[in-house]
């Protein structure tokens, strides 16, 4: 991983809710020494600490719907301007809509940087539900998980094509152990480095 670790990666990890994005992001970012930026986690932190943002998004996140694009653009713009994101980052859970792809393009252009790679974790629906139920987060009841998967199919899946057309998208089979998926991700980075 030496040449892989020395690069300043700017990565996206995409996949349906429960596909294991957060799980893989954590391990990979530790090795690459870049921050894992999860918009879902940022929203949950804001909710837990009762900030103005947290209060505003609470009912939306709990219903399984998406927070509005303007709010998410502001959240992400601020986070990507932090010092620790200057030398690379892995974004997990953003973008989720076509408007968010455009917002991310604007933010990266303003920062003068570009994405290296978009990694898609592919996991079948019954497994997504099984995993999310096992995780037991507050927005992980079966009804809400199904809603989040529907939202993903309707709003997020179509944006994969944008990254495919840009030649940035690589798919990884996420229906394997955490370690096996992790080693496929490392292989993908090795090939791209």
106 touches ligand B4P (CB under 6 A): no
Question: Which of 170, 193 has the CB closer to ligand B4P?
Answer: 170
Token digits for 99? 């408007």
Site string for ligand B4P, 53-92 (x = CB under 6 A): -------xx--x-xx----x--------------------
Closest residue to ligand B4P using C-beta atoms: 40
In angstroms, rounded to a whole number, what is the distance separating the alpha carbons of residues 148 and 25?
A: 20
Please say which residue, 6 or 187, places its beta carbon nearer to ligand B4P.
187
Candidate list 36, 40, 104, 185; residue touching ligand B4P; CB under 6 A: 40
Q: Is 23 in the site for ligand B4P (CB under 6 A)?
A: yes
Q: Which is nearer to ligand B4P, 32 or 132 (CB)?
A: 132
Rounded Cα distance, 37 and 167, in Å = 23
Q: For the sheet containing 89-92, what is the strand order?
A: 36-38, 89-92, 10-15, 117-122, 169-173
114's CB contacts (< 8 A; 6+ apart) are 10, 108
Number of residues in contact with ligand B4P, rule: CB under 6 A? 31
- C-alpha count within 13 angstroms, C-beta hemisphere, residue 98: 6
Q: Which two tokens stand for residue 36?
A: 């894992």
Residue 83: phi and psi, rounded to 5, are: -55, -40
Residue 181 exposed, middle or buried by CB count within 10 Å (0-12, 13-18, 19+): buried
CB of 14 to ligand B4P, least distance (A): 9
Stretch that binds ligand B4P, among 12-20, 29-37, 104-112, 162-170 (CB under 6 A): 12-20
- Answer yes or no whether residue 15 interacts with ligand B4P by CB under 6 A: yes
> Would you tell me which residues interact with ligand B4P (CB under 6 A)?
15, 17-23, 38-41, 43, 60-61, 64, 66-67, 72, 93-94, 96, 100, 131-132, 134-135, 148, 177-178, 181
């Amino acid at each position: 991983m030496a040449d892989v670790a020395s690069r300043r990666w700017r990565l996206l990890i995409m996949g349906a809710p429960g596909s294991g994005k957060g799980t893989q992001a954590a391990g990979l970012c530790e090795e690459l020494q870049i921050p894992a930026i999860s918009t879902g986690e940022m929203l949950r932190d804001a909710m837990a600490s009762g900030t103005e943002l947290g209060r505003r998004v609470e009912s939306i996140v709990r219903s399984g719907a998406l927070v509005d694009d303007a709010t998410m653009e502001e959240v992400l713009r601020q986070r990507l301007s932090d010092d620790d994101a200057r030398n690379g980052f892995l974004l997990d859970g953003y973008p989720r809509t076509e408007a968010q792809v455009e917002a991310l393009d604007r933010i990266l252009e303003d920062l003068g940087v570009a994405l290296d790679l978009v990694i898609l974790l592919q996991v079948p629906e019954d497994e997504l539900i099984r995993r999310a139920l096992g995780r037991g987060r507050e927005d992980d009841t079966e009804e809400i998980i199904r809603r989040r998967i529907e939202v993903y199919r309707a709003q997020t899946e179509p944006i994969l094509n944008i990254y495919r057309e840009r030649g940035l998208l690589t798919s990884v089979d996420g229906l394997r152990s955490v370690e096996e998926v992790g080693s496929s991700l490392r292989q993908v980075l090795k090939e791209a480095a």
